[in-house]
Homo-oligomer: A and B are copies of this chain.
Amino acid sequence: MERILATYRIIAPESESRVRAEALAAEQSVEMPLSAIDDDRVLAETVATVEAIRPHADYFDVTLGIAAATTGAEASQLANMLFGNCSLQPEVQLIDVVFPRDYEKAFPGPRFGIEGIRAAAGVQARSLTCSALKPQGSTVEHLANLARTFALAGIDVIKDDHGIADQSPHPFAQRVPAVQEAIDAANRETGRRTMYAPTFSGGSAALAAQARIARASGVKMALVAPMLIGLPAFVELRTSLEIPVMAHPAFAGASRIAPAVLLGTLFRMLGADATVFPNHGGRFSYSRETCLAIAKNARAPWSGLKPVLPVPAGGMTVERVDEMLAGYGPDTMLLIGGGLLSAKDRLLERAREFVRAVGASA
């Protein structure tokens, strides 16, 4: 019987570790007292096993063997088995997941991955650059002008701010063709292949309509927050879109699921080609180790799954380009948004400095 090895950190006295581990194994599988189960097959094949208990000073780590069959090879049920009920127990964190061989074959995984994004952007040797259209509430004209400036500067990927969705100042159906057109025009001037990644949001009907508009406009990339639209909806979108997908961490509440597991491993298996995360030393409190762990899980060899492009972001500046690339290596896309926009009238120049700094690092 194939088992998913899920490791949980439990903040509780070590004397409780065996009892807590067994309670968690029941909670995350049959959710009832084992003594009330008569079926030997269920006891052997369905109940999660306690594979290891590792004590630490103020907490202990428990590795459960969750029967792969209980996830039904489906994203919402996988999330349920990994962190459904225990997400409601504040002393429990999910810190690691190891899937059995070939488990990932039931999920789409990245269609393009790092290599596909590099090919689409026409960038081989150096790291990639990314900036964001902001602020939400702007006119479509303003956002298109901004996109033109970034494209002229040679930014590789221009994404919507994740707060720019389908609201009245900039409806998807008006904004996306206008921004794509501005970028196309700039690309003709520069000879580059800058891509636009608009925000996809809403339910399945809205996502399908947005996919149609994006396709008709020649959009070459998509920005999606899997936790906002839902993990199964993310899988469906990945399956229907034929462009690279950049995952955004909004609503991921990642302090309860280790960021490397959620933004690295899980988003990758579900089909992200690039994954955005808050870099250390910015507006968020992720440590350097956490960030490097996300990048590692995004790119580490994993049977047939393409590696995912790490996109550190969140309050970054041009001054940090060298240090970031030294840490993450070249298979990285740097995302600087507000740090460029602060230059205001000098935006084109600042964006060019960003592009130059990344180019110089190759």
Contact A233 B251 (CB under 8 A): no
Contact A163 B70 (CB under 8 A): yes
**From residue A241, how far is it (CB to closest CB) to chain B in Å?**
14
B residues less than 8 Å from A249 (CB atoms): 88
Contact A31 B203 (CB under 8 A): no
Binds B, one of A150-158, A211-219, A297-305, A337-345: A337-345
A window 194-230: CB within 8 A of B: 201-206, 225, 228-230
What does the 1/0 interface line of A52-81 toward B look like (CB < 8 Å)? 000000000000000101111011110111
Binds B, one of A33-41, A118-126, A182-190, A318-326: A33-41
Copies of this chain present: 2
CB-contact partner of A135 in B42, B87, B136, B343, under 8 A: B42
A134 at the B interface (CB under 8 A): yes
A window 123-147: CB within 8 A of B: 134-139, 142
A84 at the B interface (CB under 8 A): yes
Q: Which of A23, A36, A139, A286 has the most CB of B within 10 A?
A: A36
Binds B, one of A2-10, A164-172, A173-181, A353-361: A164-172
B residues less than 8 Å from A36 (CB atoms): 338, 341-344
Contact B204 A39 (CB under 8 A): no
A window 279-302: CB within 8 A of B: 283-286
CB-contact partner of A29 in B35, B38, B136, B166, under 8 A: B136
Contact A206 B74 (CB under 8 A): yes
B residues less than 8 Å from A136 (CB atoms): 29-31, 46, 70
CB-contact partner of A201 in B76, B89, B169, B253, under 8 A: B76
CA distance A46 to B337 in the complex (A): 18
Interface CB pairs A-B, < 8 A, 17: A27-B283, A30-B135, A31-B161, A33-B338, A39-B139, A42-B137, A45-B137, A67-B137, A72-B201, A76-B230, A79-B251, A84-B162, A88-B253, A90-B285, A206-B232, A229-B232, A253-B253
Binding site for B on A (CB under 8 A): 23, 27, 29-33, 35-39, 41-42, 45-47, 67, 69-72, 74-77, 79-81, 83-85, 87-91, 134-139, 142, 161-163, 165-169, 201-206, 225, 228-233, 235-236, 249-257, 278, 283-286, 337-338, 341-344
